[in-house]
Amino acid sequence: MDYDLVKTFPVKRTEPKAFDELPVSKLLNYLTRDNIIELIGFLNFSSLNEQVRQQTGKVSLPAVKKMLADNEQFQAILDQNHGMMQQAYNKYLAANTKANDLTRQQQSKQKQFLGCVAKHTPPEVFQKCVEQYDDPDAKYEQYKIIPYSGLRNSAYEKELNAGHTNRATVLKPPPGMKIQHLPKGIREYVTSCRGYRIQNTKIRGKKCELNEESENLKGLFEKELTTYNNKKQCMKMNNKRYEERLQELLEEKEKESAAEIKRVQVECTSKTMSLELQLEEMLKTIEQKDKFITKQMMVIRAYKEKLEHQ
């Protein structure tokens, strides 16, 4: 049975606001700790930090910025530092451009992903969802369909392998980003229903029934687990190859260093011997000249004595 692929709504891009329209709280996001200290002084900054620590139990730069955003005196200081505020606004424009580039890159990937999900979804599931989408007990609104981090990471790797460096740079996940291959809601459901093998079994206080949806999630979970294990094994193999390659490079460097040391030693020895030979030749020349001068002096003395006797 044929059915249409799922279509997505256009992804909204955020147009950057003008400098005068951007609130101070937004610009403060792009000022560093050093920038704020430069504006209000270290003592005032430390005082604000202490207030935040007393209120929340920890030091937080965002909390300090929130306090400053409502301070009229600080806003007056900002008005006098156009250069720093322009720098913060430029960072805001760059972040906005980066976010729009990411949205543009992800939009086509998300459409393709949704089409893939739609194509592999049985038609009866569509019919069931059309009829039961508003079931208050099911709370379908808590489930998402796109695993954003997993899709982004997959798109990044594909673009990188294809040699599309610019696209890959836009899609590259930020450091520390946790990659999830199941969408939000489904991931929590699978976690809470890992005891799908036992029907009507309470797990962590939740009652999970083995039904068609659970079977689908079971297959999806097993597939994701297999993918995870494969990637884990691949990482181990890569680490082993890196260690072997590193050991090879260390051995090569040791051999090169030993050869270079030996070459330098030979060169130094050769130069030393050459200098010794030159020194010996110079000593011989000096001795010969000394003997010649001595003979000449003897002749001169003899001639002088002869002249005195006459």
Quick: pLDDT tens for 183-231: 766 666 666 655 444 344 444 444 445 455 556 666 777 777 888 888 8
Q: Tell whether 143 is covered by a domain.
A: no
Confidence check: pLDDT of 278 > 60: yes
In a domain, 67, yes or no: yes
Whether residue 27 contacts residue 85, with contact meaning beta carbons closer than 8 Å, is answered with yes
- φ, ψ of residue 265 to 5 degrees: the values are -65, -45
Burial label for 99, CB within 10 Å (0-12, 13-18, 19+), is middle
At residue 118, the pLDDT reads 78
* Cβ count within 10 A of residue 39: 18
Q: Which of 28-37, 216-225, 281-290 is least confident?
A: 216-225
Query: For 145, which DSSP code?
Result: S
Mean pLDDT of the chain: 76
105 backbone φψ class: left, alpha, beta (φ>0; ψ -120 to 50): alpha
Report the percentage of the chain scoring pLDDT > 90.
0
- Residue 15 phi/psi, 5-degree rounding, is -80, 135
pLDDT of residue 301: 84
Quickly state the pLDDT bin for 10 (edges 50, 70, 90). very low
- Whether residue 243 lies inside any domain: the answer is no
In a domain, 2, yes or no: no
What range does the domain containing 78 cover? 19-132
| Residues 181/147, Cβ–Cβ less than 8 Å | yes
206-208 and 201-203 strand pairing: antiparallel
Within-domain flag for 226: no
* Residue 181 pLDDT greater than 70, yes or no: no
* The total number of structural domains that make up the chain: 1
Does the reported pTM lie above 0.85? no
Assess if residue 41 is contained within a domain.
yes
Residue 191 dihedral angles phi and psi, to the nearest 5°: -60, -40
Q: Does a structural domain hold residue 159? A: no
Length of the chain, please?
310
Is residue 10, in this structure, part of any structural domain at all? Answer: no
